Amino acid sequence: MSNALIGYSGNFTTSYPGLIKNPNVAQAIGHEHKKDWGKKVGKLLRDEGRGMFAITPEEKRRISGRTGMILLQTGKGIHAQTDIERSEVSKLGVISKGFVPLSTEVTTFVRSLDLNNPEYLTMKKQVDATKIAKDVNEKFYEGRNVIKADTISSFILRMKKRGSSTN
């Protein structure tokens, strides 16, 4: 089928031009065809419980754990990066999603806050990320809503997990 559309210039028979002369159009049609066919095959495999869909959640965890260990031991993938490189890549990911990464000044400011101070707690005695985000935006972004509460929440959670809270 693809030879009829884009032509053939191989070794086995005489070369011939395809029906579609513009290679960009042929490539776009091919891409759409592969995408549609891939969805159909994926749905079929999922419905019939074949291929990767036949693997139990326990088997998936075991395989991914084993693969992760191999990558860690061989220093491949994300494990080949230094902490600084990983940090830079994660900042690019944040930017690519349309968000603003937390600057060093903002993270230092949030770390310096007393998160047990009632000013930064909700009525349920949880950290009020919305209040902190508002303070960050006022202090660093002239009151514009640049840093969102969920960004502050995620940062505080990571900060607590790492034990880097000064409180």
CA distance 46 to 39: 10
What residues contact 128, with CB distance under 8 A and at least 6 apart? 120, 121, 122
Strand ranges, E, within the chain: 7-8, 16-17
- Give the model confidence (pLDDT) of 10-68 as tens digits: 777 677 787 888 878 888 888 888 888 888 998 999 899 888 889 899 998 899 889 88
Q: What is the pLDDT of residues 61-104, one digit of tens each?
A: 899 889 889 988 998 888 888 988 988 888 888 888 878 888 99
pLDDT band with cut points at 50, 70 and 90 for residue 4: confident
State the helix-helix crossing angle for 104-112 and 129-140, rounded to 10 degrees.
Answer: 130
Q: What angle do CA 74, 79, 80 make, to 5 degrees?
A: 80
pTM of structure = 0.50
